[in-house]
Amino acid sequence: MQGVLLIGAAVGAVASSVIATRAYRRNSLDASGAISGFLVMTFHIVAGYRFGALLLVFFFTSSKSTKVG
């Protein structure tokens, strides 16, 4: 059980850091938003991949919709 939790935490940290870094470089997030997003996304992925996927869908759709217009 602990091995699964550690793997989930590692996957969450790597995925979150990639997404937060990319969003920061594209000016979708500022520094505090990138740090907060990294923490929230990591916790959501550790809680379950479905929660992480739902959060990603929300982030990508809201980021795209704010750039329109």
User: For residue 32, what are the domain limits?
Assistant: 2-67
Q: What pLDDT does 69 receive?
A: 64
Q: What pLDDT does 63 receive?
A: 85
* Residue 55, token pair as written in the block: 């959060």
On whether the CB atoms of residues 41 and 16 are closer than 8 A, the answer is yes
Q: What pLDDT does 10 receive?
A: 92
49 contacts: CB under 8 Å, gap ≥ 6: 8
- Per 3-state DSSP, the chain is made up of helix, strand and coil in percentages (nearest 5) of 85, 0, 15
Q: What pLDDT does 68 receive?
A: 80
Number of domains in the chain: 1
The alpha carbon dihedral of 43, 46, 47, 53 has a sign of positive
Below-50 pLDDT ranges, the chain = none
Q: How many other β-carbons are positioned within 10 Å of the β-carbon of residue 41?
A: 22
